[in-house]
Amino acid sequence: MKLAKTIGWAPRALVFLTLAVAGVVVWSSQGSSFAQDDKADAKQSAAAAKTEAEPAAAAGVEPDGAAESSVEGESANSASGATKWLVAICWLLSVAGSITALWFARKFYLWMMEQDEGNEQMVEIAQAVRDGADAYLKRQYKVVGIFFAAAWLVLMLLSWVADAQHPLVPWAFLTGGAFSGLAGWFGMKTATWASSRTTQGARNSLNEGLQIAFRSGAVMGFTVVGLGLLDICLWFGALWYLQDLIGFKMSLTEITVTMLCFGMGASAQALFARVGGGIFTKAADVGADLVGKVEAGIPEDDARNPATIADNVGDNVGDVAGMGADLYESYCGSILASAALGVAAFSGSVDNQLRALILPMMLAAAGIGLSIWGVYLVKTKEDTSQKNLLKALGKGINYSSLAVAGAALLLVMILLPGNIGLFVSVSVGLLAGWLIGWWTEYSTSDEYAPTQGIAKQAESGPATLIIAGISEGLYSVWVPIVVIAAAILLAFGFSTGGAFGDADKFALGLYGVALGAVGMLSTLGLTLATDAYGPIADNAGGNAQMAGLDPVVRERTDALDSLGNTTAATGKGFAIGSAALTALALMAAYVEEVRVGYERFGKAEVAEVADGEVVKLNKRAVAVKHNGKVETYLVMPKGRSVESQTLTEAVRSVDSGEPLMGVNILALAASGLLVNNETATIPDFVRLYDVTIMNPAVLVGMFMGVMLAFVFCAMTMKAVGRAADGMVQEVRRQFAEDPGILAGTSKPDYANCVSISTRAAQKEMMLPSLLGLTVPIAVGLVLGVGGVMGMLAGGLTSGFAVAIFMANAGGAWDNAKKYIEAGNLGGKGSEAHKAGVVGDTVGDPFKDTSGPSLNILIKLMSMVSVVFAGLIVKFAWDLF
Amino acid sequence: MKLAKTIGWAPRALVFLTLAVAGVVVWSSQGSSFAQDDKADAKQSAAAAKTEAEPAAAAGVEPDGAAESSVEGESANSASGATKWLVAICWLLSVAGSITALWFARKFYLWMMEQDEGNEQMVEIAQAVRDGADAYLKRQYKVVGIFFAAAWLVLMLLSWVADAQHPLVPWAFLTGGAFSGLAGWFGMKTATWASSRTTQGARNSLNEGLQIAFRSGAVMGFTVVGLGLLDICLWFGALWYLQDLIGFKMSLTEITVTMLCFGMGASAQALFARVGGGIFTKAADVGADLVGKVEAGIPEDDARNPATIADNVGDNVGDVAGMGADLYESYCGSILASAALGVAAFSGSVDNQLRALILPMMLAAAGIGLSIWGVYLVKTKEDTSQKNLLKALGKGINYSSLAVAGAALLLVMILLPGNIGLFVSVSVGLLAGWLIGWWTEYSTSDEYAPTQGIAKQAESGPATLIIAGISEGLYSVWVPIVVIAAAILLAFGFSTGGAFGDADKFALGLYGVALGAVGMLSTLGLTLATDAYGPIADNAGGNAQMAGLDPVVRERTDALDSLGNTTAATGKGFAIGSAALTALALMAAYVEEVRVGYERFGKAEVAEVADGEVVKLNKRAVAVKHNGKVETYLVMPKGRSVESQTLTEAVRSVDSGEPLMGVNILALAASGLLVNNETATIPDFVRLYDVTIMNPAVLVGMFMGVMLAFVFCAMTMKAVGRAADGMVQEVRRQFAEDPGILAGTSKPDYANCVSISTRAAQKEMMLPSLLGLTVPIAVGLVLGVGGVMGMLAGGLTSGFAVAIFMANAGGAWDNAKKYIEAGNLGGKGSEAHKAGVVGDTVGDPFKDTSGPSLNILIKLMSMVSVVFAGLIVKFAWDLF
């Protein structure tokens, strides 16, 4: 029970830490009356001052209906007292929400630890799996630690030497990675403790086994959401309430954009967890099956198979830690991106910016509370059937989703009463997640036509089965794409009141889309519980088999596993759907990063220039010092008017860094030819960089994004092949060197197989990961901002489709095999079954390695672009 | 020899027709001194007049270096005498080139027909295949005919009732389809006549067999390029030189844009040929293999197998007719798109427009001449080895490609001496095609690592073989994508002199890209010959097997077949590479269609309005009648200046079709807020419709494009599955009902199998085809021009990647199987071989149905969008 203490200790430390922060906040709010009265404000007041010179623009950046709390002259430039208190309360509630999540995670964990561990052999087997998982995790975190140290160094250099980033970015990056790693560690620990207890529970009854597995899954779910929201709350609290204390004065834009960078830490951690875990689990699985099942003819999970422990470790490593890190990243990414977009959408009113910023955090907090309620809704009688349990589970998710929609209405009415359409955006996200989950189930469950059709093709052999699986998988992308497309249009349309073409409401529309992602993920605590519970049940089955328990136990754990497959389908729908919406929101957040990049660029370049002198930064921007304050202006592309032509000529004729003569900034800004960087809209930046489909740089960027998705997919799949090959060799070697193993007289060397999978996973994850990390930077340096956005769009659209294709084809093959094993089409041992096994093996890397890794890739590309935006702005090749 | 006469007669008729057109041209040129002095000119003079009001814009639309023949006041508005004669000579040379191609096609055909047909049994078998092919083609053309009639009616309604198109479009559509069908018919006829002759040739020597097969392939090659270029020449001749005669006065823009619409006819024909042919051939192939080879245990192409004739018919139907129609469409599409873009790029100078228009036609004509030279370069000694033949073939292609580059330099120097960079664009296209072809060979030939690696995985069974094939296929997309991306950037960059961001040179850059596609396809006569020769050799092998000839004959035809596989790989590279570049050019051409759509829209709306009154067309355009001439102006999106805001308000406040008060057109045009539709650049339209990545309509369009590619792929694959199932039932039925068939005592009913494949192909091709035809229109009506362009970009990038993945994975599996059959890894009959057969069967629909169909899809989407642009402009939902 040593670990139990550790985990019990951790939330307490977090509570203490948070209370300390909250205390300082209350203290500082008393001392300075929440006043934000110097540098950060100066910038916002400059923006507001600009509105007088550009009345049209100012009218534009103010969304309709936000009028009652909008800027009204100088006095409104810092937040009003009411807003300050409201936001502070919301912030405290969010912190409370995150701590509640952690508290419940601890509660479920302690409950699980109290359950019976089973007989000695079961404990021993569980210990072996635990040791394997520990060994993997230690090694994994060492490798990842080295990567993080190197990346941290690069980011420090970028911040301090190249001055292309905020100095806090490297630290944000580190905490993102650390919290994500922590969540994975807790989740995997819990899962490995839970397996033998689940087996023991299943010895008593199906229901007891389910309760243990599901509650243990909930530990993972609530740890992820708790740590995610806590990290966000702490950063916001520190950067906003304690900025005097820590010495960094920042505007709300800078704060949200700096916080976004911790998403890249979570993203990198998730990448390694998903790719490494995916390779580990499938190398062990395929290796164990090929030699054990096919060559030696021993059953699955047989204790004589040296790779069987590695196979069980793999379930924890890939499906628990990998899935957790993946969704941790989506969860944080969606909240952070919507916060950044909220600030961009309501520029001009600090009040509304703050309210828009806190809304996603409050939604997440409300989601946590309602998810916990959902967990308690999942109540059944002791002697219930599996079907009833599934119903109960569905009831929990459906009720809490509906309640979240209600909470969203309430929160929007309180925080942004003029933008009630945002509530619809949140609901659209919830509905889209539910629809994609439902479709995934339809596409992969053997109760429906697609999977049954695939199974039927097994009668003509493996070839037709494979063709059927691939074509059904390709076909199945249509519903998720239509749902996501509709969700984007509806979330955008409702949040802007249907003003699709209005440049001034653009950020508001994208804020709506991001809130949709937050809505979709708000019940993550619950949906992730149903996801993480599957591998626990799977491991419990392995434990039962290896410990040689009564077959009825294995039957019960198989039933649990099968129920887990169904619920996992829903979870996968949420994972990929939210990844798509988050990636879209991150594309918009990227534009915000470009804005901050220009701000830094301008400040660095005109530091030593005389007041009033206009300096060219690059062909797209100039900067000027005005009364000691630096302002950066975007030079809009050449138009047809004479003025515009003259300006373009003037900019073209000097070198970067040189002063620009004869330019009347105010007149040019009034005519729209120069746009102040601070008040520029997303469409302004898009126009500045000509991020249009017909721009060759953008189109080539799109091609690069598509290539990245395909090649990344191929690399992870090839890695599984190579790693599995190594495992096959090892198992064959052990069988050959010690015939006692197969006879059951001597024990195989489990640890060596775990170590092979571990080493292979860590070796093989490097190349695809580096590809995902470096290509976005290379594309940015060569093709510029336009190329990056093209790449993000191409990677998002095609990666989304490939990920769904892979997940659904793989899931359908898996269930088609199970359908045959259940006695259909000849049952176990028939030719059809052999074909089904081929399909399942092909599907393994599809659904557990390559497909899920693409989820991460599409977010990682955006995150890397976000973090390196400042670099790209400054150093991109100036050709495009 | 009845058919020989038919084919001999057809070119003569074409020569006569062409000479008649040429005669009328010379006559009319004498009569009117090539003058273009009324309506068409009036429009161009208006454009020139506008240049005085908008000096900046005028300076812009004039590419550098074209100065010596540029507009200089009113006198230069019709083409200069020198240009007229130069273009007329070029036109006559192009006509001559196309007729030369047809003449050589006839020559090769007649030579082939003189060869020995072989013994009676061989003739009989060939006759059976011929009858099957005839039956298929008749039925296919009947179905396609009905479709064409219906589509023609729709287009007529659009032209005459809705007035959304030029009245000649329906007729252009018809000729495009008819000429493509004619080319397919000639090619397939030749192929079916050639097979038994090739077998007979192979009885004498390997070399003789090759000569017959290759020359017969050349018939297809030169028929395609001859008919394609001729169709283009005739249309241009008629619309430009005979416009007085036929009564349609058109500007060069209207002419090129109308001609583009015949591309849709070719595209639709190609779609049906590829999809229908692909389903036919793979249904027969898979059906024949599953029952014949696997169940009954008889060898491939055994005469006892009822599906064997259908299988042989399928080779002709899918690989000859399908491939021919596919490349006919690419060939015409690239020439037409570059002509349209050339006219757009040099707007302001009719001289240069004409020169830019004729350049791609001249390139094609030069390519024909040099391809013929290439055919004669393919000379070897009588007793040569296969390797030497391959070398000789490569020599022919390489030398003629180099020569085309030289010819391009010469032509650019003569026609557009100020834009010598265009020569580089053409060369880049040639090089890109060669590189993609080389990579395809590397990825699929069993002489290289990827395919050998796949074959090696066969030792662990079908599952690992499938995983290896899929991962290698996915991986193999990177080179083609990088090559195409680099080709786009280089072709664009060199043609514009590196001015990537310059809106005024945008069309010029895209013209360069389109010329790259023309360059890639200029040697099509030769490359298609090497492609079409494969199925002829394949059929010859079937003939040898069925006729029970000496096994050495089968060995020789197998060697020919294998050589054909290698050359076909190169051909496939050209097909997909050119499809990508053509699709990109068509996206730009689409914008030109939008321009013409607005012109028609404006004319229709202000027909009965007083002179000088400004009428709103929709929220993006207004029209005005000025001295009886209608001018359409684009209302550029709201900017930040007061003027711009006022204009937007004014336009918003009235309904479409209502007069707009208080708008000073000339002042607004001078300030760039209104842009004359005639002088608007491609970037102007892109901005008008906000075709940026961040526009939700565009992003949703991209998702739709990706979905279309995946679902189309899935549908064709599923269709093969269903059709093959029907074939399996039929073959089983015949075997069961008449045991004499397997005993060899009674003849199976070949015709019924052919008929089953035919019916299945025609039934199954409808749904995917309708999807490809209707989705672009639906997307356009709902999401507007921006959504369409997003869809085209998404479909192009992801469709390109999926097509290459499918083609390479399929090809590699095929060759991995052959590699094992050649005695490696256990050879025929081993477990590895069984796994190899599974891979080959999975690869069949990959490489011969779904992959190639995507080539068509990405061009078809563009073509449909081009044709329906007028409709979309007028009737799209006004939300975005």
User: Tell me: the pLDDT tens digits for A523-535?
Assistant: 999 888 888 888 8
pLDDT in tens, B21-59: 556 655 555 444 333 344 444 444 444 444 444 443 333
Which of B471, B711, B800 faces A478 most closely, judged by CB atoms? B711
Q: Residue B11: is its pLDDT beyond 60?
A: no
The whole-angstrom separation of Cα A830 and Cα A839 is 14
What pLDDT is attached to residue A19? 60
Q: How many alpha carbons fall within 13 Å on the CB side of residue A228?
A: 35
Q: How many CB atoms lie within 10 A of CB A555?
A: 14
pLDDT in tens, A431-489: 999 899 889 989 998 889 999 999 999 988 899 999 999 999 999 999 999 999 999 99
From B296-305, B681-690, B768-777, the region with the lowest mean pLDDT: B296-305
Span B606-626, average pLDDT: 87
- What is the side-by-side order of every strand in the sheet holding B629-635? B614-618, B621-626, B629-635, B674-676
Flag if A672 and B468 touch (Cβ within 8 Å): no
User: Would residue A384 be called left, alpha or beta, if left means φ above 0 and alpha means ψ between -120 and 50 degrees?
Assistant: beta
The whole-angstrom separation of Cα B509 and Cα A389 is 63
Q: Between residues B501 and B322, which one has the greater pLDDT?
A: B322
From A369-383, B6-20, B307-321, B665-679, the region with the lowest mean pLDDT: B6-20
Closest CA–CA distance from residue B26 to any residue of chain A (Å): 40
The whole-angstrom separation of Cα A591 and Cα A257 is 10
Distance of CA A192 to the CA centre of its chain: 24
Q: Which of A694, A806, A857, A865 to mutate to test the interface with B (most CBs of B within 10 A)?
A: A694
- Give the CA-trace dihedral at B411, B417, B418, B422, to 10 degrees: 10
* Contact pairs from chain A to chain B, CB under 8 Å: 308
What pLDDT is attached to residue A380? 67
Q: Exposure pattern of A521-542 as b/e (b: 16+ CB <10 Å)?
A: bbbbbbbbbbbbbbbbbbbbbb
What pLDDT is attached to residue A41? 42
Query: How much of chain B exceeds pLDDT 90, in percent?
Result: 46
Q: Which of B291, B693, B699, B831 to mutate to test the interface with A (most CBs of A within 10 A)?
A: B693
pLDDT in tens, A818-851: 899 889 999 888 989 999 999 999 999 999 899 9
**How is residue A299 annotated by DSSP?**
P
Flag if A645 and B56 touch (Cβ within 8 Å): yes
pLDDT in tens, B840-868: 999 999 998 999 889 889 999 999 999 89
The whole-angstrom separation of Cα A413 and Cα A421 is 10
Span A201-214, average pLDDT: 87
Find, among A430, A453, A456, A457, the residue nearest to A442 by Cα.
A453
- Which residues, in sequence order, are bridge partners of residue B630? B625
Find, among B528, B538, B526, the residue nearest to B563 by Cα.
B538
The whole-angstrom separation of Cα A352 and Cα A336 is 17
Q: How many CB atoms lie within 10 A of CB B426?
A: 31
Sign of CA dihedral A31, A35, A37, A41: positive
What pLDDT is attached to residue A23? 60
- Name every chain A residue with its beta carbon within 8 A of the beta carbon of B794: 702, 794, 797-798
From A378-392, A512-526, B756-770, the region with the lowest mean pLDDT: A378-392
Residues in chain A: 880
What pLDDT is attached to residue B9? 55
Q: How many alpha carbons fall within 13 Å on the CB side of residue B592?
A: 33
Which of A471, A488, A696 faces B721 most closely, judged by CB atoms? A471
Q: Answer for the pair A432, A405: CB distance below 8 angstroms, yes or no.
A: no
What pLDDT is attached to residue A199? 94
- What is the side-by-side order of every strand in the sheet holding A621-626? A614-618, A621-626, A629-635, A674-676
Find, among B710, B875, B864, the residue nearest to A482 by Cα.
B710
Span A712-741, average pLDDT: 90
Q: Between residues B725 and A788, which one has the greater pLDDT?
A: A788
- Which residues, in sequence order, are bridge partners of residue B659? B615
Q: Exposure pattern of B270-303 as b/e (b: 16+ CB <10 Å)?
A: bbbbbbbbbbbbbbbbbbbbbbbeeebebeebbb
- Name every chain B residue with its beta carbon within 8 A of the beta carbon of A57: 640
Span A586-598, average pLDDT: 90
Span B517-523, average pLDDT: 93
The whole-angstrom separation of Cα B641 and Cα A671 is 4
What pLDDT is attached to residue A44? 43
Flag if B488 and A699 touch (Cβ within 8 Å): yes
Q: Chain B residue with minimal CA distance to A795?
A: B798
The whole-angstrom separation of Cα A577 and Cα A481 is 9
- Name every chain B residue with its beta carbon within 8 A of the beta carbon of A877: none
Instruction: Please give the full DSSP string across A722-761, using - where no structure is assigned.
Output: HHHHHHHHHHHHHHHH-THHHHTSS---HHHHHHHHHHHH
ipTM for the whole predicted complex goes beyond 0.85: yes
Span B536-557, average pLDDT: 89
Please, which pLDDT band fits residue A101 given cuts at 50, 70 and 90? Answer: very high
What pLDDT is attached to residue A22? 59
From A291-305, B118-132, B743-757, the region with the lowest mean pLDDT: A291-305
What pLDDT is attached to residue A63? 42
Span A335-354, average pLDDT: 91
Among all chains, which residue has been given the structure tokens 């059927």? A468
Which of A686, A710, A839 faces B694 most closely, judged by CB atoms? A686
Helix/strand/coil for A632: strand
What pLDDT is attached to residue B2? 44
Token pair in block for residue B84: 């007229």
The whole-angstrom separation of Cα B32 and Cα B25 is 10
Q: Between residues B779 and B397, which one has the greater pLDDT?
A: B779
Instruction: Choose from A557-571, A660-674, B801-815 the range with maximum mean pLDDT.
Output: B801-815
Q: How far apart are the two ends of chain A, measured CA to CA in Å?
A: 61
Q: Answer for the pair A513, A587: CB distance below 8 angstroms, yes or no.
A: no
- Name every chain A residue with its beta carbon within 8 A of the beta carbon of B671: 640-641
Contacts of B493 (CB under 8 A, 6+ apart): A879, B500, B509
The whole-angstrom separation of Cα A347 and Cα A254 is 12
Q: Residue B588: is its pLDDT beyond 60?
A: yes
The whole-angstrom separation of Cα B525 and Cα A609 is 65
pLDDT in tens, B136-173: 988 899 999 999 999 999 999 988 887 778 888 899 89
Which of B642, B672, B700 faces A639 most closely, judged by CB atoms? B672
pLDDT in tens, B289-327: 888 877 788 888 888 899 999 999 998 888 888 888 888
Token pair in block for residue B264: 């849709």
Flag if A794 and B797 touch (Cβ within 8 Å): yes
Span A510-522, average pLDDT: 94
Q: Chain A residue with minimal CA distance to B488?
A: A696
Average pLDDT of chain B is: 85
Q: Answer for the pair B518, B426: CB distance below 8 angstroms, yes or no.
A: yes
Closest CA–CA distance from residue B813 to any residue of chain A (Å): 12
What pLDDT is attached to residue B382? 61
Q: Chain A residue with minimal CA distance to B718?
A: A471
Sign of CA dihedral B218, B222, B265, B148: negative
The whole-angstrom separation of Cα A759 and Cα A756 is 5
pLDDT in tens, A294-332: 778 888 888 889 999 999 999 888 888 888 888 899 999
Q: Answer for the pair A541, A368: CB distance below 8 angstroms, yes or no.
A: no
Flag if B462 and A838 touch (Cβ within 8 Å): yes
Token pair in block for residue B130: 């011929």
The whole-angstrom separation of Cα B314 and Cα A409 is 61
Pinpoint the alpha helices (H) of B448-523: 449-457, 462-475, 478-496, 506-521
Please, which pLDDT band fits residue A425 given cuts at 50, 70 and 90? Answer: very high
The whole-angstrom separation of Cα A331 and Cα A227 is 11
Find, among A516, A312, A284, A335, the residue nearest to A422 by Cα.
A516
Contacts of A383 (CB under 8 A, 6+ apart): A205, A207
Q: How many CB atoms lie within 10 A of CB B319?
A: 26
Q: Chain A residue with minimal CA distance to B692?
A: A692
- Name every chain B residue with its beta carbon within 8 A of the beta carbon of A475: 710-711, 714-715, 718
Among all chains, which residue has been given the structure tokens 């030169």? B222
**How is residue B419 annotated by DSSP?**
-
pLDDT in tens, A50-99: 444 444 333 333 344 333 333 333 333 477 888 889 999 999 999 999 99
Q: Residue B768: is its pLDDT beyond 70?
A: yes
- Which residues, in sequence order, are bridge partners of residue B567? none
Token pair in block for residue B45: 């003079």
Q: Residue A42: is its pLDDT beyond 80?
A: no
The whole-angstrom separation of Cα B457 and Cα B812 is 13
Q: Which of B640, B642, B687 to mutate to test the interface with A (most CBs of A within 10 A)?
A: B640
Find, among B389, B316, B221, the residue nearest to B543 by Cα.
B316
Q: Answer for the pair A514, A575: CB distance below 8 angstroms, yes or no.
A: no
